Amino acid sequence: MSADRRPLDYDSLKSAIVNDPSTSYWLVSAIQALEKRDPLDAEDDANTLAELARKRSQELLEAAQLK
Of residues 22, 48, 18, 13, the one with CA closest to residue 33:
18
What is the predicted pLDDT for the residue at 1?
Answer: 47
Instruction: Evaluate whether 15 touches 28 at the Cβ level (below 8 Å).
Output: no
The pLDDT of residue 5 = 80
pLDDT at 3: 63
The pTM (predicted TM-score) of the whole model is 0.75
pLDDT in tens, 32-52: 999 999 999 999 999 999 999
* pLDDT, tens digit (0-9, with 9 covering 90-100), for 50-59: 999 999 999 9
